[in-house]
Amino acid sequence: MAGAPIKVMIVDDSALIREFLREILSKERDIEVLATAPDPYVARDKFLKKRPDVIILDVEMPRMDGLTFLEKLMAAHPTPVVMFSSRTQKGADATLKALRLGAVDFLAKPAANLGENLANLSDELVAKIRAAAGAKVRRQRVDIAKTLTVPKKVEVDQVVALTKAPPRPGGPMVLLIGASTGGTVAIEQVLTRLPADAPPIAIVQHMPEHFTEAFANRLDGLCNIAVYEAKDMQPVVPGQALIAPGGQHMLLERGSEGYRVRIRQGPPVNRHRPSVDVLFRSGVNSAGANAVAVIMTGMGDDGARGMKDLHDAGALTIAQDEETCTVYGMPKAAVQLGAVDRILPLERIAPLILGLWSQNQGRAAR
């Protein structure tokens, strides 16, 4: 017997968008549009009466903006929220703030041909609603004052003894990270705990164009390391993290002078561009056993097969644990494939990375 449908409330000041979204979601047997609201004040009253499972929330609305409503909602009644954000720099900045305030995910609002483009987004919207309904909703607050004072040196013996990390073969270490739903907050919590001389890092976070640039800029202002939206042929060097640009794949290459990234268009992989699998699989030939791969919170299975290939090539592979994931989809898929060496809570990922990096640097010095 099928379970109860996912009850959704749509909050948007555009009657046209509310109707389009209602029409899309009403076609799904497991989703019920419980209510709609033109602004947060009406939404508040309907929420208290109907208690939806998931809220689709616009950012710019009259009387109260979506971010203010989200902050109040998460303080009083934490509920899965999917933001509906404009494809602009302002929309990207607002979306990142919403994710820090506790929103589970977001969907980029079409800039033109609203009806046709919303219909094209229907599968993505439905998938995000279903994932949000099962997501862990928590208000994640990063204490920047603490994260930026992480010591430069880590007690390597403690980390290695704790995790029983295998010795790394000779060669430069490179860190590859993949994430999706909930990943912006999780990646922030890892990167802000790394010192300025951290290992070279390449990251795929499922985000559209413009949003990855805003994400990189925000992290660059918070972290000891430098963080950039990646450009084609850009070197991957210690003390820097490169984030794959939205709408394009990122591959790792190794040349005579070290690692670099290649940016390619190409078709979506696992419905995503950028794809974690593309980055991870490129790391097999370019880094092999010198790679450390981390798969973090996200829906779906992107990255699982690439991580298995890295694991089989001798790379150390790490998955974020279920308890600290917003959505335990991508890490779970990798674990089920037998692709994962270590399953760790979010707060233990950075110490392990630093321990492995210290080992790698120590061997290079000998």
- In whole angstroms, what is the distance from residue 164 CA to residue 157 CA? 10
Active-site annotation holds for 311: no
Active-site annotation holds for 14: no
Catalytic residue among 180, 275, 282, 286: 180
Kindly report the backbone phi and psi dihedral angles of residue 192, in degrees, each rounded to the nearest multiple of 5, phi listed first: -70, -10
Catalytic residue among 282, 301, 302, 358: 302
- In whole angstroms, what is the distance from residue 322 CA to residue 332 CA? 8
Active-site annotation holds for 302: yes
Q: For tokens 């790391």, name the residue.
A: 283
Residue 174 burial class via C-beta count within 10 angstroms: exposed 0-12, middle 13-18, buried 19 and up: buried
Catalytic residue among 39, 53, 105, 206: 206
- In whole angstroms, what is the distance from residue 148 CA to residue 194 CA? 8
**Catalytic (active-site) positions:** 180, 206, 302
